[in-house]
C-alpha cells in the first residue's frame, strides 16, 4: 500500500492522498494506481499529480467533479510490485513487513506485523500475537529485518 485517499480536492475531480511512501513525491512516479481494499481493487490512470503540503493531490481519469472524487474517500492506493524499482541491499518496502514474524532479542515471539501506522513522529508496527503490540519502527528498536526468512528482530519491552 502506497497511500490512502483522504478527501476530494477542489471541484474538478481531484483527490487528496496521504502517502505512505518514504518521500511524498514517491507516488508521482507511477502513471497508474490501483484503488480499493479488502480484495476489491480497480486500476485508474493518473492524468496529473503533484505534492501539496504533506499530501499528494491527483486527477484520475474518469473523475470530473467533486462528488465523483468523494466516492474514493478511504480507499487504499497501491501500485503493482512489478512497477516498483528493485530494493537494494539492506532495503525493503513497507509491504515486505506485513505478515513478518516479530521476535524480541531473547527470541520471544511477539506475533506478526498486521498493519503499519504513520503517526507523524515515526512509523509504528502493529504486531498481532497473544496481544497487540505497538512497536515503533526506529533504529534503537528494530535490530534486524530479514526479508528472506520473513523475520524481524526488535529490542522491545512493553511499557509498564
Rounded to whole angstroms, the Cα distance separating 50 from 52 reads: 6
3-81: CATH topology:
Elongation Factor Tu (Ef-tu); domain 3 (2.40.30)
Please write down the long-range contacts of 143-148, taking CB distance under 8 Å and 24 or more positions apart.
143/105, 145/92, 145/96, 145/97, 145/100, 147/92, 147/96
Rounded to whole angstroms, the Cα distance separating 24 from 55 reads: 7
Which triple of cell numbers denotes residue 3?
A: 497511500
The CATH architecture that domain 94-154 belongs to is Roll (2.30)
- pLDDT number for residue 160: 54
The phi and psi torsions of 123 (rounded to 5 degrees) equal -80, 145
- Full pLDDT tens readout for the chain, 160 residues: 788 999 999 999 999 999 887 778 888 989 999 999 877 899 999 999 999 998 999 999 999 999 999 999 999 998 887 787 787 777 777 778 889 999 999 999 999 999 888 777 888 999 999 999 999 999 999 999 998 899 999 998 876 5
Which triple of cell numbers denotes residue 8?
A: 476530494
- pLDDT number for residue 23: 79
Domain ranges of the chain: 3-81, 94-154
- pLDDT number for residue 135: 94
Helix, strand, coil share (%) of the chain residues, nearest 5? 10, 45, 40
- pLDDT number for residue 68: 96
Count of beta carbons in the 10 Å neighbourhood of residue 44: 17
- pLDDT number for residue 75: 95
Rounded to whole angstroms, the Cα distance separating 158 from 133 reads: 8
- pLDDT number for residue 11: 96
- pLDDT number for residue 5: 96
- pLDDT number for residue 24: 80
**H helix intervals, 30-153:** 66-70, 94-97
- pLDDT number for residue 47: 97
Q: b/e map of 46-79 (b: 16 or more CB within 10 Å)?
A: eeebeeeeebbbbbbeebeebeebeebeebbbbb
Amino acid at each position: 500500500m502506497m497511500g490512502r485517499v483522504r478527501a476530494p480536492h477542489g471541484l474538478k475531480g481531484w483527490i487528496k492522498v496521504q502517502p505512505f511512501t518514504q518521500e511524498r513525491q514517491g507516488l508521482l512516479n507511477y502513471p497508474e494506481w490501483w484503488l480499493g481494499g479488502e480484495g476489491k481493487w480497480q486500476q485508474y490512470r493518473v492524468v496529473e499529480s503533484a505534492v501539496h503540503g504533506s499530501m499528494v493531490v491527483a486527477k484520475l481519469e474518469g473523475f470530473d467533479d467533486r462528488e465523483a472524487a468523494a466516492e474514493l474517500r478511504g480507499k487504499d492506493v497501491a501500485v503493482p510490485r512489478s512497477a516498483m524499482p528493485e530494493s537494494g541491499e539492506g532495503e525493503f518496502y513497507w509491504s515486505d513487513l506485513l505478515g513478518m514474524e516479530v521476535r524480541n532479542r531473547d527470541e520471544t515471539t511477539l506475533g506478526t506485523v498486521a498493519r503499519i501506522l504513520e503517526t507523524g513522529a515515526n512509523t509504528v508496527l502493529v504486531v498481532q500475537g497473544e496481544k497487540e503490540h505497538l512497536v515503533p519502527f526506529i533504529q534503537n528498536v528494530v535490530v534486524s529485518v530479514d526479508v528472506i526468512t520473513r523475520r524481524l528482530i526488535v529490542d522491545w519491552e512493553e511499557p509498564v
